[in-house]
């Protein structure tokens, strides 16, 4: 492999990280919002969220990418590959995040919430200071696991022309007729990205533990 080959795979890694981070930043709060709709059991919206989560969780990411890229123009919405890839990954991860957040909300100890209610604390304050810290701590391992799955799902958007780590490694292997070295490099890069997410999780958990000790 030449230095250009390494550069090509590293550039693919940049695309993977960028797509993953943007979709995670959008998908985590979106999932929380949808989970709150289910937790509140709003009549019509609750059913819509259930339908959305059920459909998206059963749809392969590669199929969803093709639908976003090729079906949306039919209704007058044309997206370039990168925005289409971000939309695909965001819609996908938000569905899984919804269930993670919902599980934390369902298992939230209501006595804490009710105690704050008796003291006249407003709903927004109750959520920010009592509910949110608890469900973040509870959901963190599952959320980080979903983030790592999101990183590993990015090769699906290669079908709409985005060159991420795997696609870049395939191109290098096809050009050099030596597929093993580029895929080893790709594996190392994926491992480093996932390790970064796991390290972030452990750091946040330690801070929560220290805050709880005080």
Residue 197 clears pLDDT 80, i.e. is over it: yes
Q: Which residue has the tokens 């123009």?
A: 73
Nearest alpha carbon to residue 141 among 194, 198, 95, 90: 198
89-111 per-position pLDDT tens digit: 999 999 999 999 999 988 887 77
107-143 per-position pLDDT tens digit: 887 776 666 666 666 767 777 777 888 888 888 889 9
Range name among 55-64, 180-189, 205-214 with the lowest pLDDT average: 205-214
Question: Which one of 6-10, 41-45, 196-200 scores highest in mean pLDDT?
Answer: 6-10
Handedness of CA 130, 135, 140, 143 (dihedral sign): negative
Q: Domains of the chain, with CATH numbers?
A: 3-213 (1.10.3720.10)
Query: Residue range 158-171: average pLDDT?
Result: 89
Residue bearing the bigger pLDDT, 42 or 205: 42
| pLDDT attached to residue 133 | 83
pLDDT more than 70, % of the chain: 91
| pLDDT attached to residue 42 | 82
pTM above 0.85, yes or no: yes
């Amino acid at each position: 492999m030449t230095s250009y080959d390494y550069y090509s795979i590293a550039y693919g890694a940049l695309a993977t990280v960028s797509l993953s981070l943007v979709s995670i930043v959008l998908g985590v709060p979106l999932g929380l919002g949808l989970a709150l709709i289910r937790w509140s059991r709003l009549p019509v919206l609750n059913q819509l969220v259930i339908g959305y989560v059920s459909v998206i969780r059963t749809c392969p990411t590669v199929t969803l990418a093709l639908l976003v890229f090729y079906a949306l123009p039919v209704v007058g919405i044309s997206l370039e590959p990168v925005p289409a890839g971000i939309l695909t990954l965001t819609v996908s991860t938000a569905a899984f995040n919804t269930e993670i957040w919902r599980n934390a909300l369902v298992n939230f100890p209501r006595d804490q919430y009710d105690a704050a209610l008796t003291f006249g604390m407003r709903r927004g304050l109750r959520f920010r200071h009592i509910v949110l810290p608890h469900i973040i701590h509870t959901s963190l391992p599952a959320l980080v696991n979903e983030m790592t799955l999101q990183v590993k799902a990015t090769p699906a958007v290669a079908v709409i022309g985005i060159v991420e780590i795997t696609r870049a490694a395939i191109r290098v292997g096809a050009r050099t007729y030596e597929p093993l070295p580029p895929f080893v490099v790709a594996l190392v890069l994926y491992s480093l990205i996932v390790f970064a997410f796991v390290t972030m999780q452990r750091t946040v958990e330690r801070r929560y533990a220290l805050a709880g000790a005080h």
